[in-house]
Structure 1
């Protein structure tokens, strides 16, 4: 009888741990679906895709346990869920800095997303030069017998910011986070160069948009699918109903 109880307890623990990890996978699926919908809509409406790459991951059990020990968190699932808020993570890489805030704003407006914390390392970079926009959100997921609100970290950055952050991480990892001061200074200078590149590309992007808008305005009457004389009455009727 005792052996049966032990076996049952182990099975229950294994099931709960599996569901614990699955909850974060489900949360990532929900958010990735939202991002994909927003991306397609934005591309259709604005004829432009603001998102270059999306990466998502769930921390491994070993990584979670290391953080539990480091933060001295009680070894139980509710405490871990509440105290470690980056078990599920998504990184969105954008073309331009303005895209970062557009995407963040679109996500924040989602009714089932609750923004818990927002850290703007773009307006307020870290001392080493790191830039990115971080959101800690909660999103509900629905299982067969429960609803859970799962914390997820979303990082949004430009290609230049992501390139710098990835290389900086590799350098620090290789040298066990202890590198000479002159190399730290060079890394900070590289972050400034990445920032200048972002600004320059943003200026070019704005100028191209102005040119494109002028061309679109000139061509609107020549579109056989959506002629202006057909669209205007439809738009007027829609606004009148509102």
Structure 2
């Protein structure tokens, strides 16, 4: 039985119709809405799988943070934020990237369906958290992208990890990809405001060069402050 949220009035159906006729492949007796609804149902099931993966990683992080507090008398994690892409967002990204529109394609080609953002007090905490995660024997580290040591041209800094974590169901185990972004409070402050400014801009794709330059200068100033705060911390906390 289809989820009660999934009807022929669901906006997702309209999105699927716009993506391409291949979604509705079937014989003459196949109702295209039934085909679309079946895919939508699979996408909602996929959302549940990635939500479970988020829970697995969050639980590990909370345990590791508590243990660090016990052994070092402080927490390397300030806050944890998480989100799972909606079926609508998954469909739109698959279409935008030119990938096949199916659940298998989403699993294979999209690394950011499940996302966790870890905010740390200090730069050294970022790498400590990465190493704590890497040391977990049931986590597979797929890829590391270090935008702290090598910032993006616009000044963005963060450490990005792609992990595979086990999700246990009643009859099987599944390894699920989770994107983890780790950054300091200062890095998150800049990234959040920069994103907001670009989103609110009249032409977000082409903001004035002078504004982009100012944002980059702010990022560099914040990065310098991050380093100074780390140095102060190291002098005070032995």
Contact 1:97–1:202 under 8 Å retained in 2: yes
Deviation at 1:20, TM superposition (A): 1.0
Corresponding residue to 1:104 among 130, 139, 142: 130
Deviation at 1:145, TM superposition (A): 2.8
In the alignment, does 2:193 pair up with 1:167? yes
Gap runs ≥5 in structure 2: 1-28
Greater share of residues in helix:
1
How many residues align structurally? 209
Give, in whole Å, the separation in 1 of the partners of 2:56 and 2:78: 19
Give the equivalent residue in structure 2 for 1:68. 94
In the alignment, does 2:209 pair up with 1:184? no
Give, in whole Å, the separation in 2 of the partners of 1:127 and 1:200: 22
> What is the Cα-based RMSD across aligned positions, in Å?
2.2
SS in 2 for 1:138: strand
Give the equivalent residue in structure 1 for 2:222. 194
| TM-score between both structures, scaled by the size of structure 1 | 0.81
Deviation at 1:203, TM superposition (A): 1.1
Give the equivalent residue in structure 2 for 1:140. 166
Give the equivalent residue in structure 1 for 2:237. 209
Give the equivalent residue in structure 2 for 1:25. 51
Contact 1:172–1:178 under 8 Å retained in 2: no
CA deviation map 1:15-61 (0-9, x unaligned)? 53332111000000000000000000000110011111100000112
Give, in whole Å, the separation in 1 of the partners of 2:191 and 2:40: 37
Deviation at 1:108, TM superposition (A): 0.8
Return the index of the structure with the highest Cα Rg. 1
Give, in whole Å, the separation in 2 of the partners of 1:130 and 1:10: 39
Relative distance call for 1:10 and 1:173 in structure 2 (3 A) is: closer
Give, in whole Å, the separation in 2 of the partners of 1:182 and 1:6: 50
| TM-score between both structures, scaled by the size of structure 2 | 0.82
Corresponding residue to 1:154 among 177, 180, 196: 180
Give the equivalent residue in structure 2 for 1:232. none
Give, in whole Å, the separation in 2 of the partners of 1:68 and 1:113: 26
